[in-house]
Structure 1
Amino acid sequence: MRKILHPFLWLGFIFLCHVSFAQDKEITGKIISNEDSGPLPGVSVILKGTSIGTITDIDGNYRLNVPNNSNLLIFSYVGFETQEVQIGAQSNIDITLVLDTRLLSEVVVTAIGLEANKQDLGYSIQQVEGDEITKSRETNMIAGLSGKVAGVQVTSSGGVPGSAAQIRIRGNKSIQGSNSPLFVVDGVPIDNSSFNSADSPEDAVSDRSSGGAQGSNRAIDINPNDIASMTVLKGPAATALYGIRASNGAIIITTKKGKKGKPRVSFNSYFTVDQVNKLPELQTTFGQGAISGGVPIYRGPETTNSTSWGPAISDLRYSNSQSSRYNTNGRAIVHMSDPTASGDLVPAFNNADNFFQSGYSFDNSLSVSGGTDNTTYYLSAGRLNQSGIVPTTDFQRTSFKATISTNISEKFKASFSANYVNSGGRKVQNGSNTSGVMLGLLRTTPTFDNANGHGNDGHDFEDAYLFKDGTPRSYRGQKSNGGAIYDNPLFTVNRNYQTDEVNRFIGYAFLGYDITPWMTLSYRLGVDTYADFRKFRSDIGSGTLAGGQIINQEYSNKDLNGDLLLTINKELTSDLNLNATIGHNTYRKTTDNRRIDGQGLASLGFFNMASPNSFAVSELPTEKQLYGVFADLRFSYKNQFFLNVTGRNDWTSTLSNDNNSFFYPAVAGGWAFTETLGWNDSPILPYGKLRVSWGKVGNDAPFGKTTKITYYQSRVRDGWTTPNGVLFPAFGTNSFLPNQFLGNPDLRPEFTTTFEVGTDLRFWNGRITADITYYQALTEDIILDVELPRSSGKISRAQNSGEIENKGIEVALNANLIKSPSSFNYDIGVNFTKYTSIVNKLAEGLEVITIDPFGTQRIQAGEPYGIFYGTRFLRNDQGTVIIDPSSGMPLEAPTSAKVGDPTPDFLLGFRNTFTYKGLTLSFLLDFRKGGDVYNGNSGVLKNFGVSAETLDRNEKVVFDGVLRDPGLDDGNGVQIGGEANNIEVVKGGTDGGTNYYSNYGFTGLDELTIQDGSWIRLRDLTISYNFPGAMFENNFIENLTIGFTARNVFLITDYTGIDPETNLTGDASNVLGYDYFNNPNTKGYGVNLNLTF
């Protein structure tokens, strides 16, 4: 218990101010625990009635000067009983503090920013301290939650600086709406949205976020060094007070505050080196070309050949007479049998190894805090500079924060907070995009050098990606319109990139008045406002648009939130306590998305909006208002029985007047059975509680779903045959077309009803704690877009019709396994998650909803959420693959079917912490069992002949299976049994037969692209040393800690793509486990310095 609390106390406790009267007596001593006689660091030692005090050092020792006439010393430490000791004539006072099992229940922050004792709650809640979040040194604090909270799943969208991270609590509950939780900072709801800029308006799949540059989710603007703790509210019983905004759970962030005492300065500095952690394996044995009549033929970039099914590179030579501007030496590549062949060998290039670089992060933060009896303050400034593993990419964040709390009078309190953030950087395209970095990089043949002889520095040399005439240099040559077919990734990072800059302000003002000692009236007004300016560039000659384009986009967001609260904390009788909150909430959200698309640049590299010759301008303003009233009543009887009743009613502007008011209740109860049964003094189980809760929460319609008609500017799309690709206005006439979506004024909110049961157990005086929860949630009236008859003149209309059922179990276990008198300790923390999300039904007549960019991932009634559905092998009644007797190749089934499920079997985070005096070693092992991933890279790279799996292309194989025999058909298209296959074929088709990889890759069998996403990874490793306080007792330094950090450096997985913890669309959609030329994730190594004075 004490070791869990120690880091927070040791880093956060402030030396108390000394009064001005004479101090002429020194008292020393040592404080130990009654459990093991071990020293207690961070114990508060205060002279009663004064502000004179100190804390014990790492060895439990203290030293304090007090006036001669001093009377009592108070020794206090969270989790232990407070002791008062008479000073008298003593100069040395040693104390043994006794563990207080009644205080084992921690104080947590719940909805509306209210604090509560965890033992009073009847629902699941989990809190993570700020230093736990920063251990992995993730720049995005959401990624810092991975493996640290039961019921929470975090997925990265790639290792490019500033990329989004997707977070889900207890799975997905909505189909086309948001599944992201609400984020709240110091009681103020903030925006955590994410949207991706499309690579171009003509890219049809950009609407599903499969192309373009990966955007940031806005929680990345929060400086992790300012976070004191994060509390995760999981079910409706916990989140009902927040209403519809917390229908998917809530993340409550409490930032650091000042405490009474002298000014305390803290400086944190981190330096990290990032590297690519995993890439698909590529072959460097066979060159560019194709198989013709069973013979591999070399075909270079001039032929626009896309694949690497050419001859062995060892059989290729440079020509003595033929030239090629695509090769560094200007000479053409020919087969060794060609009459012009020289003796000069052709090297094999590993373009992926030469492309990526080491990324670097510098993160510095400075804070000053302190205060008096009436006023406390916390001031901080932070600066993050991060360069990426992809050349030219970067991300910066500068933040300033000030929080002041003051007692205006004995009853009147006020606090104010202001946080300004400037963030942004440079990003590159990814995913399904001819200008995507990974698409161009991984498809490049090993006989073509993207860097044109410049090795790892290719991005610094223009001749690597441009010819002297300004046309693009790429392994696949050019299209008829002058653009590259696939852009050289070095062209992309220099000429097709996005910059963004966000200016953001988050703040609040709080006023509170104590009407009576047990009743307080308060009002908190919070604001979150930002402007996100993005500039997207695509140069002349790009594969996306040969004529080039510029997109200027500015997205502004403003959230205003006001809470009027009446709180009551009253002892009704000697046995019955009441904590009540009655409140009113107002919320207003306005956004404005302005965008100018310019097509057809005047000259190469001229990225000024005066350069294009065709323009389209769009603006989409939105406004949403929400009003709510709520009440929360918490009763505690004899600290044994607990009852929590909550209710809220909301009125929302996104629904019609007939349906815009809805009420959601919640009730939770708990029984501390150890108190009732008299076990609270038991050393084995001093505390145990059973809890049960039921709650209902709503989720209103997205903006515009009830609107009948909206309009957009007409345009002509054509990016393959004309250089400019998109023409504005259409055919030279400015016009507007009505949206093809029909609004539905009768929409109702989605509702999720959750039943939850669990237990909180503490063993051996609190050295082992276990929180176990089972939940079942049913989401009804899910809002879906349903296709309309063409005769209606519209394509679709939203209606309430779907239903999803979520079930799961969560276990959070913490244990102090070793606690020795020599100050050696071993603590563990385990977070276990297992859940299922089943789609019970969709709208009548609606069988399938496709949610991914390529039609493979779908929502289907009776199946888990987001199953993978596609083409597959034909199998007999026993599941054995059926082989075509005429070719020896596996046969494809005539119908598609379910081929995978992205839901993991379970998730497990396992924290291990060893401490010895000032030395700490901590590491987090992260396990995932099951959960399929769509590895689109696998099929494409095998089809293109660049995958290392195609190295066996010339080997003879016999595919496992049985031969097709129509005579064994059972009459329903299923073959019963069959003769074992014995037909020998050459896998790559060089015997004149079928090329297995070309036939079944890329657009071939979806079954082969679905892979198990299980992993074991070392999420983070930290080694730190906290120097003893005695070293600094005669100077200004209070505390010094140095450390080493490693992140994501160890990964075991059978997945053959990039890191299986990836998702192409980031947090901008509900797609799960999609890997299609995603930018790779990173591993990192770093050092840190923490200095307090």
Structure 2
Amino acid sequence: MRTLLHVLLACTLFLFVLPADLYAQDRTVTGTVLSDDSKTALTGVTIRVKGTRRITQTDANGKFSIKVNTGEILQISSVGYETTDVKVGSGDAIGVSLKTADNTLGEVVVTAMDIKRNPRELGYSVQKVSGSEVQETQRENFLNSLAGRVAGLTLDQTSGVAGGSSSVVLRGFNSLSLSNQPLYVVDGVILDNQTINETSSGGQGIGLASDRPNRSSDYQNRIADINPSDIETITVLKGPEATALYGSQASSGAIVITTRKAKSNKLAVQYDNSFRIQEVTRWPEVMEDYTTGINGVGANTFQYFGPAYAPNTQRFNNRETFFETGTAQTHNLGVDFGVGKSMFRLSGSYFDQQGVVPNNDFRRYNLRISNTTKLWKDKIEITPAIALIKTENNKVLRSAGSYLLSLMIWPSDIDITNFEDPTTGDKLDLFANTSANGEYDNPLFNVKKNRAYDETDRKTYSLGININPYKWLTITGRFGYDTYDMNGYLFYHPQSYFLSAGTGGTLDNYWRQYTGYNHTITATARKQLGKNFNLRVMTGTMWQDYETRMFSVYGTNIVDNVTASGSMIKNGSVVTDKDLAGIMGNYMDSNVTRSSTRLRLLRNARGEYNLNQLRQQAYFGEAALSFKNYAFLSYTHRFEEASTLPLKNRKYNYPGGSLSVIVSDIFPELKRNSLISYWKLRTSLAGTARLNTPYSTQSVFVNNFASGGGFSYGFFNNNEDLRPERQSTYELGTEFRLFKSRLNFDITYYNTLNKGQIIQNFRLSYGTGFVLNTQNAASTRNQGVEIA
């Protein structure tokens, strides 16, 4: 009896200490959800009881019912609206109004000088592409992934072969002679995007010693060295106002890249890969019913006006035989780790591409490590990074116009796989009684015997420093050093149609070195003026120092000559193609050519590199004023000095200004229906300059191969009075977000006037003493409309 009493007493005490919530009973509450702007019912709104799995949605009339306990929290959310929490009281009915969410407030784009800005503040056109979009395309390089993603961006793949270059132009061509390529900036540091120009202007430039037209081979532009998997975001700045702070090098716009960084110091490993197959599937329609000949009479010619093929003639599909199935594979590995407030990211990538053209392949190896360290109570942030890149490109030389054209002119009753002697490897003649050098190269002979190769070893170092000594002051520095070594060769076989029989083969060897340093230091102050105005003032300085060095040797007569029967002769003996392969070795020794035929770039003859140098110094500033976070006015100005101009014209400056107004915030009644969620108007007016190429202000001596040798002025009359090109652009645009930001429009009109165009290498009277001249001689206007 005493035991039973103790049990009853314990149960009673336990009931007294239970939480009051356990006494609560589930009850059903009902409610209605309306739009705060239009006061209309919202369908499909999610109502969730926080901390539980109880959930429901509103019906077509905006009504809902759910079981709750008094004191619980209802979380009410819907796409395009701000999430609201409501605490349940004693009542059984709840009324809720949801405010339209302003999704622009949390957005960030990286603009000039690695500055992060909200898009609503910008008075000029900016488009952003995420790194995930780039990676999903799995293209050869990040440039090719931009095709069709940015309004006003034109992408041209120069040749389409593996390792080929890609040209990007923003808003069309503004310069008639100078570069129209945008500037590339990675984490606030300018990176080189050169490609080799085979023309060396009589040996004075940094092209090949053979000074050939720039069409025999393709050289990848260096910005394609970047690992697409390392990219976090790409911001495309198209107008001069957006790039005024970057200076004359950004007169054609800028592509600003932010790389991925570690998000925490916890160990995290990522791996992804991709495999791609590429085939040529479309062909031009051609008629192949007639044999080689003229006026119905057969002849040994590549013209097809001879008799019709006999009905039982065997025909070959040489086009499909020639082109192969191209493949590409990518492997990416990333590791995040860290200690305390120091976080690291290590990434590596391997890319291997086999082209659709035989004997054409490209490989790229990337290794990068970056760090983010915060010091002094997070007032100092340091972000160093090192990247190592290696590329290897086995290239093919272009056929007579292109490989496809060569295949189209090849007789369809001749199998192109029979192009070499199975014993000697020598070129087989197509027609009887013709020399090896006298008829077009078989396309397979061209890709297997005429060879080219280049490899590049590149290192980039960058350092970012952000200092926030006070809430209103930020000091930033971006420092970058970029260097690479590139070497390669270009070889034409002695039996090739591109050479005469006495040339005996040709070999170009080249070595290129590039070093570039640039830094940008800025200080930004912010001040709130009263309740409605905010002021931001930024000032800064930039220094750029770039040098490209080139050494190139060209020679002929690897063999002495090629006979009429097609035999190669060296030192009085017949040399077969297999013998020639042993002579050539790795193709990087110019001593295989006849010494008397060798040409070098002008300074190379004295054992020095040909140089291309550019140094540039600038000071700049920006003042920006905002009103109630819906009207933004900014003004920029840059003062610049560049080494490429003559001393008297070396200093120049240019302004820029922009205005942005959020109309939907000024008139909030516009958002009281489901049509307009956001409406912005913007305009900008800015000027910039474009620089001449180095050394185009001074004529130089070249080798004189006549009149007893020595030196004389070359063909090029450079101009000591050159001024920079001047470019001014007016831009007007608007941005709409409709149907709760489900549909977005960005419309821009731009008008660019280019004055004092620098025209390089145009012909004037020989009475000038020169053939090709350079001067400020033209103006152009470029205008257009962009819709994104």
Is the CA contact 2:245–2:637 (under 8 Å) kept in the aligned structure 1? Answer: yes
Alpha-carbon offset, residue 495 of structure 1: 1.2
Distance in 1, Cα, partners of 2:539 & 2:334: 36
User: Which shows bigger deviation, 625-634 or 130-139?
Assistant: 130-139
Amino acid corresponding to residue 564 of structure 1 in structure 2 = I
Q: Distance in 1 between matches of 2:214 and 2:480?
A: 35
Q: Which residue of 1 aligns with 2:3?
A: none
Residue 306 of structure 2 corresponds to which residue in structure 1?
310
Does residue 488 (structure 1) correspond to residue 442 (structure 2)? The answer is yes
Larger Rg: 2
Query: 1:542 and 1:713, CA in 2 relative to 1: closer, same or farther beyond 3 A?
Result: farther
Which stretches in structure 2 are left out of the alignment for 5+ residues?
1-32, 36-41, 52-72, 88-95, 560-574, 605-609
- 1:378 paired to 2:345: yes
The answer for the alignment partner of 2:632 in structure 1 is 642
| Cα distance change of structure 1 residues 368 and 165 upon mapping to structure 2, 3 Å threshold | same
Q: 1:601 aligns with which of 547, 558, 561?
A: 558
- Cα distance 1:763–1:79, how it changes in 2: closer, same or farther (>3 A)? closer
SS at match of 1:704: coil
Which of 312, 315, 327 is the matching residue for 1:348?
Answer: 315
Q: CA deviation at 1:372?
A: 6.0
Contact between 2:370 and 2:383, CA under 8 Å: does it hold in 1?
A: yes
Distance 1:215 1:282 in 2: 32
Judged with a 3 Å threshold, the aligned counterparts in structure 2 of structure 1 residues 709 and 78 are, in CA distance, closer, same or farther, namely farther
For 1:824-869, what per-residue CA distance to the aligned partner results, in whole angstroms no more than 9, with x for missing partners?
Answer: xxxxxxxxxxxxxxxxxxxxxxxxxxxxxxxxxxxxxxxxxxxxxx
CA contact (8 A) 2:489 2:509 kept: yes
Mapped pair 1:253 → 2:234: no
1:633 aligned to 2:623? yes
Residue 764 of structure 2 corresponds to which residue in structure 1?
788
SS of 1:237 mapped into structure 2: helix
Q: 2:242 aligns to what SS in structure 1?
A: helix
What per-residue deviation string (whole Å, max 9, x for no partner) do you get for residues 917-965 of structure 1?
xxxxxxxxxxxxxxxxxxxxxxxxxxxxxxxxxxxxxxxxxxxxxxxxx
Kindly tell me: are residues 235 and 248 of structure 1, through their superposed partners in 2, closer, same or farther at Cα, counting changes over 3 Å? Answer: same
2:720 aligned to which of 745, 760, 781: 745
Structure 1 equivalent of residue 702 of structure 2: 711
Distance 2:243 2:80 in 1: 28
Which has the higher mean CA deviation after the structures are superposed, 379-388 or 539-548? 539-548
Structure 1 residue 83 displacement after superposition = 7.4
Match of 1:515 among 469, 473, 483: 469
C-alpha spacing 1:407/1:556, structure 2 compared with 1 (3 Å):
same
2:552 maps to 1:576: no
Is the Cα contact below 8 Å between 1:755 and 1:777 reproduced in 2? yes
CA distance in 1, matches of 2:428, 2:199: 24
Q: Deviations over 1:444-493 (max 9, x none)?
A: 111222112xxxxxxxxxxx33475664225357865x525311111111
| Paired residue secondary structure (2:719) | coil
Decide whether aligned partners of structure 1 residues 600 and 33 sit closer, same or farther in structure 2, where only a CA change above 3 A counts: farther
Matches of 2:422 and 2:102, distance apart in 1: 75
Give 1:36 deviation, angstroms. Answer: 6.3
Q: Which has the higher contact order (CA 8 A, sep 6+)?
A: 1
Structure 2 residue 579 is matched with structure 1 residue 611: no
The one-letter code sitting in structure 2 at the alignment partner of 1:506 is T
CA distance in 2, matches of 1:476, 1:258: 65
- Answer whether contact 1:198 1:213 (CA < 8 A) is retained: no
Q: Which moved more, 1:603-612 or 1:346-355?
A: 603-612
CA displacement at 1:423 relative to structure 2: 1.1
Q: Given that residues 286 and 312 in structure 1 are in contact (C-alpha distance below 8 angstroms), is that contact kept between their aligned partners in structure 2? A: yes
Query: Which string of whole-angstrom CA distances, capped at 9 and with x for unpartnered residues, describes residues 677-722 of structure 1?
Result: 23375243232121111000100111121012242574xxxxxxxx
TM-score normalized with structure 1 length? 0.58
How has the CA–CA distance of structure 1 residues 131 and 585 changed in structure 2, closer, same or farther, with 3 Å as cutoff?
same
Counterparts of 1:25-36 in structure 2 under 5 Å? none
Whether the 8 Å contact between 2:178 and 2:693 is mirrored in structure 1 is yes
Matched, 1:283 2:287: yes
> Structure 1 536/208 Cα, relative in aligned 2: closer, same or farther at 3 Å?
closer
Aligned to 2:58: none
CA distance 1:109–1:147, change in 2 (3 Å) = same
Q: What does 1:870-949 correspond to in 2, within 5 Å?
A: none
Q: CA deviation at 1:82?
A: 7.3
Which moved further from structure 2: 515-524 or 774-783?
515-524
Corresponding residue to 1:368 among 330, 335, 338? 335
Aligned mates of 1:697, 1:200 — CA distance in 2? 29
* Structure 1: runs of 5+ lacking an equivalent: 1-31, 47-71, 87-94, 316-344, 453-463, 715-729, 813-1093
Aligned to 2:428: 473
Closer, same or farther in 2 for the Cα pair 1:139/1:712, shift >3 Å? Answer: farther
Which one-letter code corresponds to 1:377 in the other structure? F
Q: Letter of the 2:526 partner, please give it.
A: N
Give how far 1:144 is off.
1.0
- Following TM superposition, by how much is the alpha carbon of 1:625 offset from its aligned partner in structure 2, in angstroms? 0.2
Pick closer, same or farther for the CA change 1:656–1:201 going to 2, 3 Å.
Answer: closer
The question of whether the paired residues in 2 share the 8 Å contact of 1:781 and 1:803 is answered with yes
The residue aligned with 1:914 is none
Q: Please list, as runs of the form range in 1=range in 2, the aligned pairs for 1:48-127 lying within 5 A after superposition.
A: 81=82, 100-101=101-102, 103=104, 106-127=107-128
> Quick one: distance in 1 between partners of 2:106 and 2:742?
13
Q: In 1, distance between residues paired with 2:487 and 2:373?
A: 37
1:527 corresponding residue in structure 2: 481
Match of 2:229, SS state, is: helix
1:513 shift after superposition: 1.9
Report whether the alignment pairs 1:419 with 2:415.
no
**How far has the Cα of 1:744 moved from its partner?**
1.1
- Contact map agreement 2:81 2:98 (CA 8 A) in 1: yes
Instruction: For 1:356 and 1:281, locate their aligned partners in 2 and report how far apart those are by CA, in whole Å.
Output: 17
8 Å CA contact 2:519–2:542 kept in 1: the answer is yes
The amino acid that maps onto 2:427 is P
What is the deviation of 1:755?
Answer: 0.5
Aligned equivalents of 2:363 and 2:157: distance in 1? Answer: 19
Deviation at 1:174, TM superposition (A): 0.4
Q: 1:686 aligned to 2:653?
A: no
Aligned 8 A contact 1:472 1:483 in 2:
no
Q: Which amino acid aligns with 1:510?
A: G
Matched pairs, number: 678
Q: Distance in 2 between matches of 1:199 and 1:520?
A: 46
Are the counterparts in 2 of residues 210 and 431 from structure 1 also a CA contact under 8 Å? no
* Structure 2 counterpart of 1:393: 360
C-alpha distance in 1 between matches for 2:200 and 2:46: 60
Counterpart for residue 777 of structure 2: 801
Please, what is the CA RMSD of the aligned residues?
3.4
Q: Distance in 2 between matches of 1:803 and 1:765?
A: 45
- Looking at structure 2, the residues matched to 85 and 432 of structure 1 have their Cα atoms a distance apart, in angstroms, of 76
Tell whether 2:265 aligns with 1:244.
Answer: no
1:245 alignment partner, SS class? helix
SS at match of 1:766: coil
Secondary structure in structure 1 of the residue aligned to 2:167: strand
Deviations 1:223-277 (A, max 9, x none): 1111111111011111100000100011111111111252222111100001114
SS at match of 1:565: strand
Q: Which amino acid aligns with 1:668?
A: S
Q: Secondary structure at the match of 1:242?
A: coil
**CA shift at 1:424, angstroms?**
2.5
C-alpha distance in 1 between matches for 2:744 and 2:130: 17
Q: Which residue pairs with 1:1049 in the alignment?
A: none
Structure 1 letter corresponding to 2:593: P
> Is the 1:33–1:39 contact (alpha carbons within 8 Å) kept by the matching residues of 2?
no
Conserved? CA contact 1:284–1:349, under 8 Å = no
- Specify the code of the residue in structure 1 equivalent to 2:390: N
- Counterparts of residues 803-818 of structure 1 (less than 5 Å): 803-812=779-788
Distance 1:428 1:484 in 2: 21
Contact 1:288/1:446 (CA < 8 Å) preserved in 2? no
Preserved contact between residue 265 and residue 341 of structure 2 (Cα < 8 Å): no
Q: CA, structure 1 residues 102+569, in 2 after alignment: closer, same or farther (shift >3 Å)?
A: farther
Distance of aligned partners of 1:252 and 1:799 in 2 relative to their CA distance in 1, 3 Å threshold = same
Query: 2:272 is matched with which residue?
Result: 268
Q: Counterparts of 1:125-140 in structure 2 under 5 Å?
A: 125-140=126-141
2:751 equivalent in structure 1:
776
Instruction: Tell me, yes or no, if the aligned pair for 1:424 and 1:502 is still in contact at 8 Å.
Output: yes
1:995 corresponds in structure 2 to: none
Shift of 1:512: 2.4
Q: Note the C-alpha offset of 1:77.
A: 12
- Is residue 569 of structure 2 the alignment partner of residue 565 of structure 1? no
Q: Which AA in structure 1 matches 2:642?
A: T
